[in-house]
């Protein structure tokens, strides 16, 4: 049976959880010392040793061990993101939203990230097939060539973004699909850039 933890120990665990959620990795001992206002690294070592002995955290071995603080299951960082609907890799379709969630690799669990399920094959040359999932970072801006989730007149599509002197082009990655050229009369915005794709088996 694990010992109950104090308020200060809970603050220590909460910091590790929040930092890992935001950055995809645990804080270093120096970062913990700075953020919690400790006067020495010895205090951090004491917390790590005490919480490790009580089974609340685990220390990974290896050259990066000081950063590899892993919370026990009861304190673990969630590895899910919201699944906000379906995105067309073909013709634009209506953007959907729902309250589902899906498991993703832990480094991608960040507040501005979300997941969409892909419908269509227009991005197959980027190894994104019908039924795959994409992890998206919400942002209104993208660099030329990045894969984006774009809204065109209220409908969402997944394409590569290429700003041109005369406007914007959205390129598929399948020769069977046409380039989408955004007109001045179109209501166009970028909703996010694609960070990662995966599929469930």
Residues that are catalytic = 122, 159
> Where in the chain does DSSP place strands (E)?
57-59, 69-71, 80-88, 93-94, 100-103, 113-119, 133-138, 147-152, 155-164, 167-171, 180-182, 188-198
Q: How many CB atoms lie within 10 A of CB 30?
A: 12
- Contact between 165 and 154 under an 8 Å Cβ cutoff? The reply is no
Q: How many CB atoms lie within 10 A of CB 150?
A: 23
- Contact between 123 and 92 under an 8 Å Cβ cutoff? The reply is no
């Amino acid at each position: 049976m694990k010992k109950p933890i104090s308020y200060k120990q809970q603050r220590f665990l909460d910091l590790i959880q929040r930092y890992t959620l935001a950055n995809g990795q645990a804080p270093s001992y120096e970062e913990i010392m700075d953020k919690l206002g400790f006067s020495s690294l010895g205090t951090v070592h004491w917390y790590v040793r005490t919480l490790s002995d009580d089974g609340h955290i685990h220390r990974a071995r290896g050259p990066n061990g000081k950063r590899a603080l892993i919370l026990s299951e009861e304190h673990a960082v969630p590895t899910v993101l919201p699944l906000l609907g379906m995105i067309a890799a073909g013709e634009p379709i209506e953007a959907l939203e729902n309250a589902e969630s899906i498991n993703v690799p832990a480094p991608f669990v960040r507040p501005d990230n979300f997941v969409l399920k892909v419908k269509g094959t227009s991005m197959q040359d980027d190894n994104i097939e019908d039924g795959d999932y994409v992890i998206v970072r919400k942002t209104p801006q993208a660099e030329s060539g990045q894969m984006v989730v774009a809204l065109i007149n209220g409908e969402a599509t997944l394409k590569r973004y290429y700003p041109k002197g005369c406007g914007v082009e959205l390129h598929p990655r399948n020769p069977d699909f046409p380039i989408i050229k955004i007109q001045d009369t179109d209501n166009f915005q970028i909703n996010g850039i694609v960070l990662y794709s995966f599929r469930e088996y």
